[in-house]
Chain A
Amino acid sequence: MNRKRTDWNRLLISACAIATLALVLFSVPACKKKPTVEPIDPPVEEETGVSVDLTTVPYTKLSDYRFFEGEMKNQVPAEKVIPYQPASGLFTDYAHKKRFIWMPNGTQATYNGDHNVLELPVGAALIKTFYYDNVQPAGNTRIIETRIMIRKSSGWVFANYVWNTEQTEAYLDMNGSYTNVSWLENGVPKSTAYRIPNQTECHTCHKLNDEPIPIGIKPQNLNIDYTYEDGTQNQLQKLVAVGYLQNNLPGNIVSTVNYMDQTKSVDQRFRSYVDINCAHCHAENKHCSYRPMRLAFSETSDPINLGLCVEPEEVIDAAYVYIIKPNDKNRSMMHYRLGSVEPSERMPLLGRTIVHEEGLQLLEEWIAWKQTCN
């Protein structure tokens, strides 16, 4: 059944491609000159620009949104589709990511605190593409999926698009699946049975109480420069400049850093890392808020919220006496869990099946740096 549908979609794509080619060759006005050929049909105008029709989204194909210009796999954003990148990113088995934001004409987001998600207007879309470079054996780039969150008047909805082998289109698939990927990470061969999440898995992380919400798009994460097509600019300023963000930001924004940025303190780097990787569950009103950790950047200036010298409630082994023991990774539960790939013990539980070596190393640096319980 699904197979047939895919084939049908492929036919449609081919048809669309031919139609598009024809339009390019003969230009739109050329079509308009022949209204009498099919007098019953209303005149068809080639639509341009992004399309997010809240009454019909999520569309069956990623291309239907027209978020990208040219070949879609190049991920060149259309006009008003603005790329962004949080200071620190979520680790998902070393997948690379491209993120974009789009809002309907005349709408804008509002600031709601440094560490809260921007209040995005109805109609806004967040687009995040997951891909790998140096995919073996050919060394090519492979786009796996593009996840979209759309703000409807009733709240956020998820739409996940899985890319085809030809990398020409991505199709809506909310059922989740696995795909094997092997690639070189800094020259080191790695592989994973990559998990494309289903609707429920999306929701497990993207929620506040039971309501779906975005995670990364917070002022604290965007208060760094990004290199746009037209130059480098602070990302919040850029959003203001394009009219996407109300221009009432405070002068000082308590901000996360890039956890790989060696010029920052290990404390800032580690706290930024756990914010983006852990705080979607370990914060108030989140999936695991019954556990003692509070791992949002705004809360970890008090290290007790990181679990420093806090006894774990779930015992895996008597060796792990504290969630983090100062200067002793061997007695730190967090170190065990970040280094585990066992599905019931690893942290995060979702989105990771292999160990993030750099993240684990950062934790070790922080543990070595933190010499006392205070």
Chain B
Amino acid sequence: MKINFTLFLLMGMPLLSHAQNTCATALPVTAGTYVVTAVDGTEAPTLACALNGLTNVTAGEWYTYTPSANYTVTITTDLAASAGADTRFHVYSGTCGSLVCVSGDDDGGSGLTSLASFNVTAGTTYTIAFDNRWSASGFSFELTESPIVVPPTPPITFTANTFPAISGNYGLATTDMNGDHLDDIVTVSASSVQILYQQISGAYVTNNIPTSTTMFQPSWSMAIGDIDKNGFNDMLYGGGSGVTFMKANATGTGYTEISGTEYVFCQRTNFVDINNDGNLDAFSCHDVDPNVYYINDGSGNLTYHQGGLGDHPEGGNYGSIWMDYDNDGDQDLFIAKCRGGASTAKINELHRNDGAGVFTDVSISSNMADPIQTWSSAWNDFNNDGWMDALIGASSTDDGPHKLMKNNGNGTFSDVTAGSGWDTNPSLNIEHVSFDFDNDGFTDVLGGGNKIMFGNGDMTFFPMVYPFTNGAVGDLNNDGFLDIRNGNTVYMSDKNSNNWITINLQGIESNSNGIGARVEIYGSWGKQIRDIRSGDGFRYMNTLNAHFGLGTATVIDSMFIKWPSGHIDQINNPTINEPITVVEGSHPLSLLEVDGKKIALYPNPTTDYLTVENFDLLDASSIEIYSQLGGRVMNTEMKDAKISLTGLTSGRYFLVIHTKNGEKYSESFIKM
């Protein structure tokens, strides 16, 4: 039905349009208000430019708009005449059949109405389509033209990239599983594990691995780490009634289930070397009892413990995060806590690691004993002063809003929320996790409201809304920019011009993944630091590689890896804009010298033999050689300075000399 608009205009009435049914017959509109009597056009949009997909979309109402000048255009259904409506629209450029998203919105207006602003170019025709995703009822919409407002450029943008191969129930992880330091896409189900192995080419190889039907599934959280140092990562499923470990076999092609018999109402789970013996232990927050942990004997046998790491009898433990807040080289524990009513189980806890498995509750003295109802906290050095700061993310405002805590470097924290941007951020969430998403050298926080709060490096943040929600964070195309997984969609970073470095760790004496290591880089910006964590935020398992953004800086003067073992590796002037893999001990802080003579390996690279120069100066007890994956390929008590490499395949190796007085020296070499 055609309407004579001129007549309506002359009568001073709002335009009443029986909107058109298909893209091809879309009704041209100009600035003004229009009535849609019902969403019943025969052609339904097949490209969603707004949230919530295309489920139940069976009809559309189609319009075109061709501006006479460049404008910032706003389309809204948030009008009195649309009271109670639940609308959604998409704005496209291009032609019918090959439309391209320009804008769109579902619930951005008040109530469930829609509202979007976007910039248009004179003479370009835009197609506007309303759909019946939620309702076919009528409503009114308004199109207004304003002088061009250039929107703030997002520091980084992302493009949705669907992986049709992904299948399974728990799409929680983007973590390397096979020791090549390329983040893989891990999806777990009751009786299978699916891994999409990232290849150096950028392609993915899918492997669906059947498993036993696990007693517990990662319904609450998941952690990943190599508990038996066989080069293939193992998994921890945090279930509602207990913990399941899935141990990878020697080739990473199968998993053995080990389920705890203990009742654990798991929340956040972590792998961390709690007693610093070089073997990853496991920790789980307990919702309703004191926290539990499993100590690893070095053979991957895990013994259950309860007590000493958050012992409130009512639990209330939701978000455990292991990090080094006092820069003493060991892993401290912060627990984001939550509980209704007057219970003290909601008061957050900070436990200082004093070494040798001794922990001291410093919640009060550190100023972190806060009752905020929180399920997660985000820890990073937000102001690059070398100390880990914390964003305590509120999940409810019942006991206070978000709180940003600056690490004073003396064991205490100060509340710097006021004016930080967190005080004006109303979005609550159970997930808060910190990375440098835009590689500007200042760490950011992914929290509620589909927002990244971008850090300015001075304890202030500004929000930017994205079409994704919280999910596992990893580098899923190995380009140095972090990507975010939502189920089978990866929001792949579009990159920007900032420089970066990715540091992959291979522990030898420490745990294989280098979990608990502190990574530091120095340059024109001063200092930046990262902790390697298994189990960050509330539910997901992120990359285990350290990602740094450098902004416009082009040189990293020096880089230090402080391993849980105490070893420190130093690399000067590492190449930027590419990943670097650091094997523990391969770049000792100062080259070993005895009586002024350097201990060195030659030739390096080599073919058949390796000679240790000045070997006789060492009182050696044994020599070990490890592959780059961490597997030991040679162990000899031979004291000869010349070592045969017969039988070793080509590749990068790592030699460790143990001395009789317990010292350990290591150096890497390449066999051709």
Contact = CB atoms under 8 A, between A and B. Distances in A.
Contact of A343 (B220, B429, B448): B220
B134 A313 contact: no
A210 B345 contact: yes
Contacts, number: 90
Given A343-B220, A343-B239, A344-B240, A321 B112 contact: yes
Interface in A170-207: 175-176, 195, 198, 200-201, 203-204
B602 interface: no
B395 to A, nearest CB: 6
Give the size category of B's interface with A. 35 or more
A290 B398 contact: yes
Interface stretch (B178-186, B333-341, B554-562, B617-625): B333-341
Interface in B228-276: 239-241, 263, 265
Contacts of A281: 340
B219 A318 contact: no
Contacts of B346: 290
B430 interface: yes
Contact of A290 (B52, B239, B340): B340
A372 B263 CA distance: 44
Contacts of B448: 315
A345 to B, nearest CB: 8
B469 interface: yes
A372 B373 contact: no
Scoring A198, A286, A290, A372 by chain B CB atoms within 10 A of each residue's CB, the highest score goes to: A290
A342 interface: yes
A321 B239 CA distance: 27
A200 B288 contact: yes
B263 A200 contact: yes
A210 to B, nearest CB: 5
A286 B341 contact: yes
Contacts of A289: 340-341, 398
A289 B399 CA distance: 11
Nearest to B289: A200
B342 interface: yes
B210 interface: no
A291 B338 CA distance: 11
A12 B107 CA distance: 67
B651 interface: no
A286 B429 CA distance: 20
B263 A176 contact: yes
A288 B134 CA distance: 30
A290 B395 contact: yes
Interface string B39-81: 0000000000001100010000000000000000000000000
B509 interface: no
A314 interface: yes
Contacts of B373: 290
Contacts of A201: 263, 288
A235 B112 CA distance: 46
Contacts of A198: 263
A286 B340 CA distance: 5
A140 interface: no
A287 B339 contact: yes
Interface in B96-144: 106-107, 112, 134-135
B86 to A, nearest CB: 7
A265 interface: no
A319 B133 CA distance: 10
A83 B64 CA distance: 71
A96 B469 CA distance: 41
A175 B263 contact: yes
A299 interface: no
Contacts of A284: 341
Interface in B283-313: 287-289, 313
A328 interface: yes
B428 A349 contact: no
B396 A290 contact: yes
Interface string B397-440: 01100000000000000000000000000001110000000000
Given A195-B241, A344-B240, A315 B340 contact: no
B288 A203 contact: yes
A331 interface: yes
A209 interface: yes
Interface string B601-636: 000000000000000000000000000000000000
B343 interface: yes
A328 B396 contact: no
A313 B395 contact: yes
Contacts of A204: 265, 287-288
A146 B217 CA distance: 29
Interface of B is mostly: loop
B288 A318 contact: no
B520 interface: no
Contacts of A20: none
Nearest to A314: B430
Interface string A318-345: 1101000100101100000000001110
Contact of B469 (A208, A318, A321, A330): A318
Nearest to A281: B340
A353 to B, nearest CB: 10
Contact of A210 (B220, B265, B314): B314
B84 interface: yes
A208 to B, nearest CB: 7
Interface string B321-339: 0000000000000000011
A91 B56 CA distance: 32
A343 B341 contact: no
B538 to A, nearest CB: 10
A292 B241 CA distance: 26
Contacts of A313: 395-396, 428
A196 to B, nearest CB: 11
Interface string B346-375: 100000000000000000000000000100
B339 A328 contact: no
Contacts of A176: 241, 263
A27 interface: no
Given A290-B396, A344-B240, A349-B240, A318 B106 contact: yes
B134 A330 contact: yes
A342 B171 CA distance: 14
Contacts of A292: 396
Given A286-B341, A287-B339, A331-B112, A315 B469 contact: yes
A320 to B, nearest CB: 10
Nearest to B239: A343
Contacts of B56: 330
Scoring B52, B288, B395 by chain A CB atoms within 10 A of each residue's CB, the highest score goes to: B288
A372 B219 contact: no
Scoring A286, A292, A319, A330 by chain B CB atoms within 10 A of each residue's CB, the highest score goes to: A319
A117 to B, nearest CB: 16
Interface string A57-69: 0000000000000
Contact of A331 (B134, B342, B539): B134
Interface in B535-579: 539
B219 A342 contact: yes
A314 B263 CA distance: 25
Scoring B134, B135, B341 by chain A CB atoms within 10 A of each residue's CB, the highest score goes to: B341
A285 interface: yes
A209 B289 contact: no
A288 B343 CA distance: 11
In the A-B complex, the 8 residue pairs with the closest CB atoms: A289-B340, A285-B341, A343-B240, A343-B219, A290-B396, A290-B398, A290-B373, A344-B219
15 contacts: A176-B263, A200-B263, A201-B288, A210-B343, A286-B340, A287-B339, A290-B339, A290-B346, A313-B395, A315-B429, A315-B469, A321-B112, A328-B135, A343-B220, A372-B84
Interface of A: 175-176, 195, 198, 200-201, 203-204, 208-210, 281, 284-292, 313-315, 317-319, 321, 325, 328, 330-331, 342-344, 349, 372
Given A289-B341, A372-B84, 7 more contacts: A285-B341, A289-B340, A290-B399, A314-B430, A318-B106, A319-B52, A325-B112
